[in-house]
């Protein structure tokens, strides 16, 4: 079941349950205060390009993996 605005539900981010009201991946990235560059997000094992974040509806129990690029040596 897909959710609409203002309804809290639980998703899993990097193996931790988290409650959110974000209705798409872009809103979730803003909620998590992710930087605009150097971040990849996978939903249920599928990496999504940043251009697909807006409008990609989240649903309860989605498994989200956030990967931040590490710079330097």
Judged on CB neighbours under 10 Å (0-12, 13-18, 19+), 11 is buried
Band of pLDDT at residue 65, cut at 50, 70 and 90:
very high
Give every CB contact of residue 1 below 8 A, 6+ residues apart in sequence. Answer: 59, 60
Percent of the chain with pLDDT over 90: 71
Gap between the Cα atoms of 46 and 42, Å rounded: 5
Nearest residue to 53 (alpha-carbon basis) of 71, 70, 36, 72: 36
- Between residues 72 and 42, the one the model is more confident about: 42
């Amino acid at each position: 079941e897909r959710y609409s605005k203002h309804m809290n539900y639980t998703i899993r981010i990097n193996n931790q349950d988290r409650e959110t009201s974000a209705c798409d991946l872009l809103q979730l990235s803003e909620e998590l205060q992710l930087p605009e560059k150097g971040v990849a997000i996978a939903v249920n094992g599928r990496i999504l390009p940043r251009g697909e974040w807006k409008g990609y509806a989240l649903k309860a129990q989605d498994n989200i993996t956030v990967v931040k690029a590490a710079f330097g040596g």
